[in-house]
Amino acid sequence: MRYDLNLLPVFVTLMEERSVTRAAERLGMTQPALSNALARLRVVMRDPLFIRERYGIQPTPLALELAPVLRAALAQIDEVVHGQQAFEPAEAERLMTIAPNSYAEFALIPTVVARLRAVAPGISLRLTPYGSDLSETGVISGTTAMAIGRFVEVQDNLVVQHLMDDGLACVVRADHPDVGDVLTRETYERLRHVNVLPPGRLRAGLFQVLERHGLKRDVAVSVTHFLAVPEMIAVTDYCATLPRLICARLAHDTRLKFVPAPVDLGTFPVDMAWHVRYRHDPAHRWLRTLIAEVAREAAGTAPAPEDAP
Tens of pLDDT, residues 31-64: 899 899 999 999 988 999 999 887 789 999 999 9
Q: Calculate mean pLDDT across residues 69-93.
A: 73
Top-confidence residue, 235 or 12: 235
Q: Do residues 169 and 259 make contact, with C-beta atoms less than 8 angstroms apart?
A: yes
Identify the pLDDT of residue 132. 65
Identify the pLDDT of residue 209. 86
pLDDT exceeds 70 at position 3: no
Confidence grade of residue 176 (pLDDT, cut at 50, 70, 90): very high
Identify the pLDDT of residue 309. 38
What pTM was estimated for this model as a whole?
0.71
Identify the pLDDT of residue 72. 77
% of the chain at pLDDT higher than 70: 90
pLDDT exceeds 90 at position 155: no
**DSSP β-bridge partners for residue 258:** 171
pLDDT exceeds 70 at position 14: yes
CATH 1.10.10.10 residue spans of the chain: 7-83
Identify the pLDDT of residue 306. 40
Residue 286 CB-density burial (10 A; 0-12 exposed, 13-18 middle, 19+ buried):
middle
Identify the pLDDT of residue 152. 78
Give per-residue burial for 263-283: e unless 16+ CB within 10 Å, then b: eebeebebbbbbbbbbbbbbb
Confidence grade of residue 183 (pLDDT, cut at 50, 70, 90): very high
pLDDT exceeds 60 at position 84: no
Of 54-58, 86-90, 243-247, 298-302, the least confident: 298-302
Q: What is the rounded CA–CA span in Å between residue 302 and residue 242?
A: 13
Fold of the domain spanning 168-266: D-Maltodextrin-Binding Protein; domain 2 (3.40.190)
Fold of the domain spanning 94-165+269-307: D-Maltodextrin-Binding Protein; domain 2 (3.40.190)
CATH 3.40.190.10 residue spans of the chain: 94-165+269-307, 168-266
Confidence grade of residue 137 (pLDDT, cut at 50, 70, 90): confident
Distances (CA, A) of 120 to 18, 77, 287, 290, 300: 37, 27, 10, 11, 24
Identify the pLDDT of residue 304. 43
Instruction: Please name the CATH architecture into which domain 7-83 falls.
Output: Orthogonal Bundle (1.10)
Confidence grade of residue 143 (pLDDT, cut at 50, 70, 90): confident
Averaged confidence pLDDT in the chain: 86
